[in-house]
Amino acid sequence: MLRHWIGFFLIFATTILVPPAHAIKLAKPVSWGSPDQSYGKRRSVTNADREEIRRYRSGTLAPVFQTDFTDPKELESDWRLMTDHSGKICRTPDNVQVSKSGLTLKTMIATNCPRNHWSTGSIQSKSSYQFGFFEAKMKIADIKGMNNAFWMNTANQPATRDYFEIDVCECQYPSYDHIGLQQYPAKKDNVALSDVKHSGMGWGASVTDDLSAAFHDYGVLWKENEMIFAIDGEPIAAVVTNGAVIAPADVMFSSALIYDGVPDNAEGHDMHVKSVRIYKLVGEH
């Protein structure tokens, strides 16, 4: 009996008291120059936020969608491989690869973008989701200049004639994560359907870790009236939306060499995604 209780205590201590092996720490409080907007006002992170995020990550809830990106047929069934030749961006389906290691968005020498030396990759979910907890396990490319992104685009919102981009993470090597919410005019065939002006609000998170050295979990709890953003299960930013962002959204992963500092040997410096999990809000069916 004593041996039983000692074993139980060791399991409990390991589970509760030992922090995750790669849980990151903020180097300083989150900040960013983009101000609050009518559709998004910052608020402080609370213990209640931590409890909510912990519940979704506890393993007791069943996701409505999950994948480890190891099956090419599943990729074809569930995701669109995107083509984007605009400005500094050259993204093609050839840059998307799945294997037993997960999803790789490869950085390659461009062959079909005359203005670009490098090409990268992007995928978009065929299904859309409204509210819930969204979390992906990612490792960013180990070079300057890369936007390593996990994000969502809502559908057009007819009542307000806009749509939103939810930036769960736009990471830059080695230790920076841009988190934000952006509003755009509703569009059809890339033509604006309203006079809504593009604007954004958000945060910058500098961390103590090299984000290319290991996988980390990036997530957002999206509710009708607010969003809570987390890294490795720890909430680091929260925004009150007051019902402004309610249209269903697709899920996207992308890499793009759009910032300063791209090295001469960028080929082979890739972005990796090991998994993504999507949960409905607790209490919804």
Distance of CA 42 to the CA centre of its chain: 19
Instruction: Please give the pLDDT value at position 123.
Output: 98
Q: Which residues of the chain have pLDDT under 70?
A: 1-22, 284-285
Which residue in the block uniquely carries the two structure tokens 């959204």?
Answer: 249
Distance CA 15, CA 245 (A): 36
Instruction: Please give the pLDDT value at position 168.
Output: 98
Distance CA 175, CA 177 (A): 7
Q: Which amino acid belongs to residue 237?
A: A
Beta-carbon contacts of 250 under 8 Å, excluding residues fewer than 6 positions away, are 124, 125, 126, 127, 128, 129, 152, 153
pLDDT tens sequence across 21-40: 457 899 999 987 789 999 99
Write the burial class of residue 24 (CB in 10 Å: 0-12 exposed, 13-18 middle, 19+ buried).
buried
Distance CA 65, CA 163 (A): 23
Instruction: Please give the pLDDT value at position 18.
Output: 37
Domain ranges of the chain: 26-279
**Inter-CA distances, 79 with 75, 82, 230, Å:** 5, 9, 24
Distance CA 48, CA 245 (A): 22
Instruction: Please give the pLDDT value at position 22.
Output: 57
Count how many residues are written for the chain: 285
In what helix (H) or strand (E) does residue 50 lie, and over which residues does it extend?
helix 47-56
Q: What is the CATH number of domain 26-279?
A: 2.60.120.200
Instruction: Please give the pLDDT value at position 34.
Output: 80
